[in-house]
């Protein structure tokens, strides 16, 4: 039998599920035809299907060594590396496959899935655009649209796909998620219940989200139990359970939940990380350190354990401990990108900007759209006394502007409108506490995106924004390479909108919006004592990072006035001074180029 015929026989055995037969044939071919790249590629495919990833990688790398132009082998290697969570290597392999096979949709689809997962939806949309006549590509494209904050457009594409392939669970699942994003909780839940009954495991976690937002708390916990019984390492479900316990005033249930998950998972890294994150958000720093010590005892020093340890000390404002860990990271894992963020924070806290300058510069190049790194670049310029560089990024007179919103039609004054809007928003604040992972303290946040509400007051508010946003955009002067003005869009759209209600002691900790272009806050109501407050109670403050750095106090404030909208760059550190009493009710939103 010829070599080609034997290879086809191996492929047929593989396709029939006879993996041992396929490997037997391929082993003979590797000995007889050791210079044939296709033999090694198919061997890699079979080894991957046999759950032997190390062997699969060996075979696939041999295939691309023998034939560097073998796009199929690069594509399969990229899939394998992605399954092993070696994302950067996977992207590199898939990009090579895409260059070698520009007419093939397979590398583009595989890359698109990674970009969606990495929250790089713009890259996913771009790579998939040429292949939208193919259903598999259009499905990932719809997922990318959804991740890009365009659930309505994604829903249209899911609808078109469903007409072509009725009953496809992946399409139905995507449609359900879009409806969930748009606040159509009943419709989403109906679809998710049907998918769960069909055995689609992924449906249980979004079922929890829908049930929680509908206030069906016990059922929501039941959905979470369905997730965790199947996969005790499901970090989203663990965090969702912690959030719901916290927001329903049952915070004492969080630690037992995570202790049980550690035991059930055998101490999986994902559970350790999720546990530490929640303990930090609860400001239980000693417990977080205890959990990390258990992880260290089990796994030894690892980048993720070191990264979370730095995070704990930074959030606890323990400068010396954070800097010592950063120096260890510099020594043990100098090129580990996941450590750059906390190494940079710790370096600024310790007064060692020179040690982190290259980290921040490298991250700005690698992640130009991540607004966190622009905030870090600005802080570095300020602490180094580079006033001109700081002013270029943080030009307060032009970049932070306040607008008086006109009352919508049907309202005699902005006060009358705000009273109606406040009553509407208060009805939406259904939980006892804010989500753990948000910037507010001693307050609550609406559970869903206000963009998809049909309340007339909210729709009227959005309509009144347009002129202010247009005036802000037109007041900018374009400057090549600038993170705000480098590409001033002709039109913009709201990326996300929510309402925050702060009570006594309420504040926002300093933060940026990593995915935004412009961010804003509209004041619906504020306590009486805020006006002209000598302590700037409830005022918006700018320029102070969320970790202590000598010399980086707030440098500007905006007094909150009901009926006013403040717009500013999403990368500008901002927070609020706590209020002592009363209610501070706002709508916040991010705006991006359309």
Element (H, E) at 115: helix 105-117
Q: How many CB atoms sit inside 10 A of residue 592's CB?
A: 17
> Average pLDDT in the 249-253 region?
91
Q: Is pLDDT of 79 > 90?
A: yes
Out of 87, 102, 117, pick the residue that ends a domain. 102
Q: Is pLDDT of 35 > 80?
A: no
- The predicted structure's pLDDT at residue 82: 92
Whether 52 is covered by a domain: the verdict is yes
- The predicted structure's pLDDT at residue 366: 87
Identify the bridge partners of residue 525 per DSSP, sorted by sequence position: 585
The CATH code of the domain that includes 402 is: 2.60.120.620
Q: Is pLDDT of 441 > 70?
A: yes
- The predicted structure's pLDDT at residue 47: 92
Check if the beta carbon of residue 387 is closer than 8 Å to that of residue 550: no
Q: Could you report the per-residue pLDDT of 96-146, keeping only the tens digit for each?
A: 999 999 999 999 999 999 999 888 888 999 999 999 989 999 999 999 998
Whether 366 is covered by a domain: the verdict is no
Q: Could you report the per-residue pLDDT of 252-310, keeping only the tens digit for each?
A: 999 999 999 999 999 999 999 999 999 999 999 999 999 999 999 999 999 999 999 99
Q: How many domains does the chain have?
A: 2
The C-alpha torsion from 470 through 474 and 478 to 483, rounded to 10°, is -30
- The predicted structure's pLDDT at residue 147: 86
Whether 150 is covered by a domain: the verdict is no
Between the alpha carbon of residue 274 and those of residues 79, 261, 294, the distances in Å are: 26, 10, 14
Residue 499's contacts (CB-CB under 8 Å, 6 or more residues apart) are: 425, 428, 429, 445, 446, 450, 524, 585, 586, 587, 588
Check if the beta carbon of residue 453 is closer than 8 Å to that of residue 183: yes
- The predicted structure's pLDDT at residue 119: 81
Whether 414 is covered by a domain: the verdict is yes
Identify the bridge partners of residue 444 per DSSP, sorted by sequence position: 501
The C-alpha torsion from 64 through 69 and 75 to 76, rounded to 10°, is -30
Q: Are strands 556-558 and 564-569 parallel, antiparallel or unpaired?
A: unpaired
Out of 71, 102, 133, pick the residue that ends a domain. 102
State the Cα–Cα distance between residues 27 and 319, nearest whole angstrom.
Answer: 58
Q: How many CB atoms sit inside 10 A of residue 51's CB?
A: 9
Closest to 346 (Cα-Cα) out of 310, 376, 395, 299:
310
Whether 236 is covered by a domain: the verdict is no
Q: Is pLDDT of 1 > 70?
A: no
Measured at the alpha carbon of residue 530, what is the angle toward residues 526 and 531, in degrees to the nearest 5?
Answer: 105
Edge-first strand order for the sheet with 492-508 is 401-404, 564-569, 518-525, 584-593, 492-508, 440-445
535: confidence class by pLDDT, cuts 50, 70, 90: very high
Q: Is pLDDT of 153 > 70?
A: yes
Whether 92 is covered by a domain: the verdict is yes
CA 388, distance to chain mean position in Å, is 32
Whether 586 is covered by a domain: the verdict is yes
> Average pLDDT in the 407-433 region?
92
Element (H, E) at 305: helix 303-315
- The predicted structure's pLDDT at residue 309: 98
Q: Is pLDDT of 430 > 80?
A: no
34: confidence class by pLDDT, cuts 50, 70, 90: low
The CATH code of the domain that includes 33 is: 1.25.40.10
Name the residue range of residue 92's domain. 3-102
Whether 200 is covered by a domain: the verdict is no
Out of 102, 125, 146, pick the residue that ends a domain. 102
Q: Is pLDDT of 432 > 80?
A: no
Hey, CA dihedral for 361, 365, 367, 368, is it positive or negative? positive
Q: Could you report the per-residue pLDDT of 164-192, keeping only the tens digit for each?
A: 888 899 999 999 999 998 889 999 999 99
Q: Is pLDDT of 33 > 70?
A: no
Two structure tokens written together for 381:
């310029």
State the Cα–Cα distance between residues 424 and 419, nearest whole angstrom.
Answer: 9
Q: Are strands 540-542 and 518-525 parallel, antiparallel or unpaired?
A: unpaired
> Average pLDDT in the 510-535 region?
94
Buried b / exposed e along 128-159 (16+ C-beta atoms within 10 A): beebeebebbbbbbbbbbbbbbbbeebbebbe
Q: Could you report the per-residue pLDDT of 317-331, keeping only the tens digit for each?
A: 999 999 999 999 999
Average pLDDT score over the chain = 92
- In the chain, pLDDT over 70 holds for what percent of residues? 99
Two structure tokens written together for 424:
């509407």
């Amino acid at each position: 039998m010829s070599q080609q015929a034997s290879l086809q026989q191996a492929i047929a055995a593989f396709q029939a599920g006879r993996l041992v037969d396929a490997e037997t044939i391929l082993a003979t071919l590797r000995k007889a035809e050791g210079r044939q790249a296709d033999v090694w590629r198919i061997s890699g495919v079979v080894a991957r299907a046999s759950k032997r990833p190390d062997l699969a990688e060996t075979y696939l790398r041999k295939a691309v060594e023998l034939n560097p132009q073998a796009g199929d082998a690069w594509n399969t290697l990229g899939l394998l590396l992605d399954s092993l969570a070696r994302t950067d290597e996977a992207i590199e392999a898939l990009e090579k496959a895409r260059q070698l096979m520009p007419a093939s949709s397979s590398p583009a689809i595989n890359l698109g899935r990674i970009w969606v997962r990495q929250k790089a939806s713009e890259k996913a949309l771009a790579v998939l655009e040429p292949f939208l006549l193919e259903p598999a590509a259009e499905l990932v494209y719809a997922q990318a649209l959804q991740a890009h904050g365009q659930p309505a457009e994604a829903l249209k594409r899911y609808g078109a796909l469903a007409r072509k392939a009725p009953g496809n669970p992946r399409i139905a699942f995507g449609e359900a998620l879009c409806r969930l994003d748009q606040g159509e909780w009943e419709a989403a839940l109906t679809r998710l219940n049907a998918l769960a009954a069909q055995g689609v495991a992924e449906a249980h976690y979004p079922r929890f989200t829908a049930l929680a937002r509908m206030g069906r708390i016990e059922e929501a916990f039941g959905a979470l139990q369905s997730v965790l019984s199947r996969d005790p390492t499901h970090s989203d479900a663990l965090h969702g359970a912690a959030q719901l316990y916290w927001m329903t005033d049952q915070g004492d249930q969080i630690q037992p939940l995570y202790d049980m998950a550690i035991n059930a998972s055998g101490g999986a890294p994902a559970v350790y990380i999720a546990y530490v994150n929640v303990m930090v958000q609860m400001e239980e720093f000693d417990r977080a350190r205890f959990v990390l010590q258990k992880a260290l005892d089990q796994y030894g020093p690892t980048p993720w354990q070191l990264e979370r340890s730095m995070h704990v000390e930074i959030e606890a404002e323990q400068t010396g401990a954070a800097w010592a860990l950063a120096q260890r990271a510099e020594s043990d894992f100098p090129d580990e990108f996941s450590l750059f963020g906390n190494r940079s924070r710790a370096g600024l806290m310790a007064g060692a900007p020179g040690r982190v300058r290259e980290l921040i510069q490298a991250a700005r190049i690698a992640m130009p759209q991540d607004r966190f790194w622009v905030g870090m670049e600005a802080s570095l310029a300020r602490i180094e006394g580079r006033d001109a560089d700081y002013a270029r990024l943080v030009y307060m007179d032009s970049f932070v502007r306040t607008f008086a919103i006109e009352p919508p039609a049907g309202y005699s004054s902005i006060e009358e409108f705000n009273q109606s809007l406040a009553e509407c928003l208060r009805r939406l604040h259904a939980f006892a506490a804010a989500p753990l992972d948000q910037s507010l303290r001693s307050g609550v946040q609406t559970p869903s995106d206000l963009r998809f509400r049909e309340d007339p007051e909210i729709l009227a508010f959005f309509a009144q924004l347009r002129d202010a946003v247009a005036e802000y955009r037109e007041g900018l002067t374009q400057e090549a390479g600038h993170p705000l003005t480098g590409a001033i869009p002709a039109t913009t759209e709201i990326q996300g909108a929510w309402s925050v209600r702060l009570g006594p002691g309420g504040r926002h900790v300093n933060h940026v919006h990593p995915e935004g272009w412009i961010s804003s806050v509209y004041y619906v109501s504020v306590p009486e004592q805020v006006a002209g407050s000598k302590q700037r109670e409830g005022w918006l403050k700018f320029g102070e990072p969320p970790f202590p750095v000598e010399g980086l106090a707030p440098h500007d404030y905006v007094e909150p006035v009901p009926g006013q909208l403040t717009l500013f760059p999403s990368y500008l550190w901002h927070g609020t001074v706590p209020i002592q009493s009363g209610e501070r009710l706002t709508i916040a939103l991010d705006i991006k180029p359309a």
